[in-house]
Structure 1
Amino acid sequence: MVTVAEAKRRITENTIALSTEVKTVQEASGYVLAKDVLATFSLPSFRQSSMDGYAVLHTDITNENISLPVVSESKAGGTSKLSLEPGTAIRIFTGAPVPAGATAVIMQERTSVENGVVMIKEFPVAENLNVRNVGQQIREGDIALSAASYLSAGAIGFLTGLNVQEVEVFRKPKIGILVTGDELVKTGEELGDGQVYESNSAMLVAALTKEGINDVEVFYAQDDLTSTINSLELLAIRNDVVIATGGVSVGDYDYVGKALESIEAETIFYKVRQKPGKPLLFAKTKGNHFYALPGNPASSLVCFYEYVLPALRLMSGRNDNFLPSFKLPISHAYSFNGERDEFLKASVSNAQVTSLEGQESFALRSFAVANALIYLPVTQQNVYAGDLVEVHLLPL
């Protein structure tokens, strides 16, 4: 059995980014850049106004309430060949080219206009006031986004504005999910005695979809060794990562561990000193990672967020792979006995964290409303209201 920290260390040490692929910028949201992207032109590529107002020569504004004749107009998408003569003003709009000779833009709200003459109600006026200069955002030849950058919505917009059409990114892993347990019934079918509806696969698919991993398939294996081996082998051929749910404990019908031995997967660790989720197994072959999660739904989801998701992010090229972690005061006292660290389903609000009712490993109702996990090591078995605890924010 390994500690929580040791389990995370071993996963990190045994995980590398996958191969790369080229995607259009529109398809690349949520991916990670594999190579630097250079700007092929400056942005802005011409001097732009950041306000609706009037373009002027800033040295013409020698006192408040200076009046200047309005001689022309510059609008967004219009010509950049206008020129401003000293002692005049040009009407201008946000995003429009700043005329040659103009050194500032006075915002409309600081002016008044009558009979083609604008009165400037601002003094003094700084040079380049409300002017976006050429290359102010980025200059031609500079690195627009560096390798390992996560392509957020803002990144996609930025690259599109630079006319970048394709990028090289790390591909995301293909995932095979193996469900074991003869007591499990698919949604919509009739329950028999001793049976329950299988929810882990839907839960894991939803978590993967949230992460932008959509190449996922689900297999079901009977509670026998041959079926489990065959399913693992087939999923391994078709995927980068295989996630088994159930069948990893020490019961007579738990075959995942034996099946992994049969396909010659190397076990990196088995069992973590934590509650819930003790019977977690991580194994690998030359081409695959295998994660065997506990069958109890809450245990399975805790293990996914704390161990599997960080590994999938590393495979996808991300460096910020673990859940965001910080310290918050706990709203109520909590204590536990034993020699295992605990993860508590929790809710963060109003700058504090509250552990929820229903911490049992089978209970998903509390997970349905949780937005965080509290991590309590065995050295922190007794906490009181107001004590600082480690909080891991869930990707909702």
Structure 2
Amino acid sequence: MVTVNEAKQLIVAHAAVLPPETRKLADTVGYVLAENINAPLSLPSFRQSSMDGYAILHSDISAAGTGLQLKGESKAGQTELENLTPGFAMRIFTGAPVPDGATAVIMQEHTRVAGGQVFIDEFPVPEGKNVRRIGQQIMAGTTALTAGTYLSPGGIAFLQGLGITDVQVCRKPKIGLLITGDELLKPGEPMVAGRVFESNSGMIAAALKQEGLREIEIRYAGDDLDTTITELQKLVEKNDIVLASGGISVGDYDFVGEAMNAVGAETVFYKVRQKPGKPLLFAKKDEKLFFALPGNPASSLVCYYEYVLPAIRKMTGRTDLFLKALQLPVKYGYSFDGERDEFLKASIADDSVIPLDGQESFSIRSFALADAIIYLPVSQNKVAAGDLVEVHLLPF
């Protein structure tokens, strides 16, 4: 049995970044760049107005109320412009090119137009006012984004603005999920006494999709060793990470650990000193990772967030592997006995964290209401209201 921190360290050490792939930029939100991107052009690539108003020579303005002759206009998308000469002003719009000769743009709210002239009610006017310089965002040939950058909508907009259409990103893992148990019914099947509707497949698949994973293969096996091995082997052949739900404890019908050995997975650790989720198994075969998760839904989801998610993020090139953690005061006191760290389903409200009712490993309703997990090590097995506790924010 390993500690919580030892388990996390072992998983991160054994997970490796997947090889890169080239994707269309529009399809890369949530991916991580696998290469440095150099700017093929400057942004902006021409001097650009940041206001609706009038392009002028700042040196023409000797006092508030100076009048200038109007000469033409510049609108967004215009490609040909006359030069601006002293004593003249040009009507200009936001995003439009600033004509050669102009050194500033005066916003229209600070002007008056009469008799073919525009009067500038502003003094002094600094050179470059309201003019976006060539390369003000980035200069051509410099690094736009570095390898390892997580591509957010803002990142995609930035690269698209540079005219980039394809990028190399770290591939996301293909996930195989094995659901085990004779007692399980699929949703839509008629209820039978002594059996339960299986919910872990939907839960884990939803968590994977929330992380941006789409290649998810789900298979099912009853409490039978041969069937478990057969279905597990099918998942191993096609996927980078294989998850199994249930069948990993010490019961007479728990075959997942044995089945993982049969398909060639080498166990890294089995059992973590925690509650819930003690019977967690982590194994590896070549570069493929295996997680045998407890069958109880709450235990399974805790183990996903605390252990599987960091492995996924490591394989996709991310550096923020773990759930965001912070210290918050706990609203109510809590204590526990034993030698295992505890994870509590929780909700954040009014700058404090509330342990929810229903902390049992089978209780998933409380997870439906949770937005955080409280982590209490054995060294902090008794907390009073107002004490600071470690809180892991769920990724939504």
| Separation (CA, whole Å) in 1 of partners of 2:380 and 2:115 | 76
Q: Deviations over 1:51-97 (max 9, x none)?
A: 11111222223333333232221100013533222222211111000
Alignment of 1:221-370 (within 5 A): 221-370=221-370
Q: Distance in 2 between matches of 1:39 and 1:60?
A: 36
Q: CA deviation at 1:349?
A: 3.3
Q: Deviations over 1:206-231 (max 9, x none)?
A: 11111111000100001011111111
Partners of 1:114 and 1:203 lie apart in 2 by 68
Q: Secondary structure at the match of 2:300?
A: helix
Q: 1:61 to 1:350 in 2, by over 3 A?
A: farther
CA contact (8 A) 2:179 2:221 kept: yes
Distance change (3 Å), C-alpha of 1:115 and 1:358:
farther
Code of the aligned partner of 1:55: A
Partners of 1:60 and 1:349 in 2: how far apart?
Answer: 59
Matched position secondary structure for 2:99: coil
Question: Aligned partners of 2:119, 2:179: CA distance in 1, in Å?
Answer: 75
Question: What residue in structure 2 maps to residue 20 of structure 1?
Answer: 20
Alignment-mate amino acid for residue 4 of structure 1? V
What amino acid sits opposite 2:245 in the alignment?
T
Q: What TM-score comes out, normalization by structure 2 length?
A: 0.97
Which secondary structure state, in structure 1, belongs to the residue aligned with residue 137 of structure 2?
coil
Whether the 8 Å CA contact 1:2–1:271 is kept in 2: the answer is: yes
Paired position in structure 1 for 2:53: 53
Residue 33 of structure 1 aligns to a residue whose secondary structure is coil
List 4+ stretches of structure 1 deviating above 3 A: none
Answer yes or no: is the 8 Å Cα contact 1:80–1:98 preserved in 2: no
Matches within 5 A, 1:145-224: 145-224=145-224
Paired letter, 1:172: K
Report what 2:371 is aligned to. Answer: 371
State the distance in 1 between where 2:335 and 2:69 align. Answer: 77
Tell me whether 68-77 or 175-184 shows the greater mean CA deviation: 68-77
Question: Given the superposition, is the C-alpha separation of residues 124 and 385 from structure 1 closer, same or farther in structure 2, using an over 3 Å criterion?
Answer: farther
RMSD: 1.4
Task: Give yes or no for contact 2:16–2:287 (8 Å, CA) kept in 1.
Answer: no
The secondary structure found in structure 1 opposite 2:35 is coil
Offset, 1:47: 0.4
Residue aligning to 1:10 = 10
Match status 1:388 vs 2:388: yes
- Following the alignment from structure 2 to structure 1, what is the Cα–Cα distance between the partners of residues 374 and 53? 53
Percentage identity across aligned positions? 60
| Pair 1:66–1:346, CA change in 2 (3 A) | farther
Which segment is superposed worse, 251-260 or 112-121? 112-121
TM-superposed deviation, 1:149 = 1.0
CA distance in 2: counterparts of 1:152 and 1:221, whole angstroms: 38
1:136 alignment partner in structure 2: 136
Decide whether aligned partners of structure 1 residues 354 and 107 sit closer, same or farther in structure 2, where only a CA change above 3 A counts. farther
1:105 matched residue in structure 2? 105
C-alpha deviation, 1:203, in angstroms: 0.6
> Against the structure 1 CA distance between its residues 111 and 146, is the aligned structure 2 distance closer, same or farther, given a 3 Å change threshold?
same
- Given that 1:181 and 1:247 are in contact with CA atoms closer than 8 Å, whether structure 2 keeps it comes out as yes
Query: Any conservation in 2 of the 1:80–1:99 contact (CA below 8 Å)?
Result: no
Q: Secondary structure at the match of 1:346?
A: strand
CA distance in 2, matches of 1:111, 1:203: 61
- The verdict on how the C-alpha distance between 1:105 and 1:291 changes in structure 2, with shifts beyond 3 A counting, is same
Task: Name which of structure 1's ranges 66-75 and 218-227 shifts more when overlaid on structure 2.
Answer: 66-75
CA distance in 2, matches of 1:221, 1:365: 26
Partner-residue secondary structure (3-state), 2:258 = helix
- With over 3 angstroms needed to count, the CA separation of the structure-2 counterparts of 1:331 and 1:109, relative to structure 1, is farther
Give the CA deviation at 1:121.
2.7
* Contact 2:74 2:81 survives alignment (8 Å): no
Q: Is the 8 A contact 1:54 1:91 kept in 2?
A: yes
Name the CA shift for 1:80/1:384 in 2 (closer, same or farther; >3 Å): farther
- Secondary structure, aligned partner of 2:323: coil
> What is the SS of the residue equivalent to 1:32?
coil
1:235 is aligned with what amino acid? L
Distance 2:114 2:365 in 1: 67
Decide whether the 8 Å contact of 1:43 with 1:162 is kept in 2: yes
For 2:142, give the aligned amino acid: D
1: CA distance between counterparts of 2:203 and 2:3? 26
Q: For structure 1, which runs of at least 5 residues remain unmatched after alignment?
A: none
Letter in structure 1 aligned against 2:112: S
Residues 260 and 311 from structure 1, CA distance in 2 versus in 1: closer, same or farther, beyond 3 angstroms?
same
Amino acid at match of 2:334: Y
Counterpart Cα distance in 1 of 2:61 and 2:274? 70
What letter corresponds to residue 78 of structure 1 in structure 2? Q
- For 1:357 and 1:349, the matched residues in 2 are separated by 15
Q: What is the alpha-carbon distance in structure 1 between the residues aligned to residue 31 and residue 218 of structure 2?
A: 23
TM-score, structure 1 as length reference: 0.97
**Structure 2 unmatched runs, 5+:** none
Confirm or deny: 8 A CA contact 1:75 1:95 kept in the other structure: yes
Whole-angstrom distance in 1 between the partners of 2:343 and 2:192: 33
- CA deviation map 1:184-243 (0-9, x unaligned): 100010111111100000011111111111000100001011111111111100111110
1:72 is the counterpart of 2:75: no
| Matched-pair contact (CA < 8 Å) for 2:330–2:389 | yes
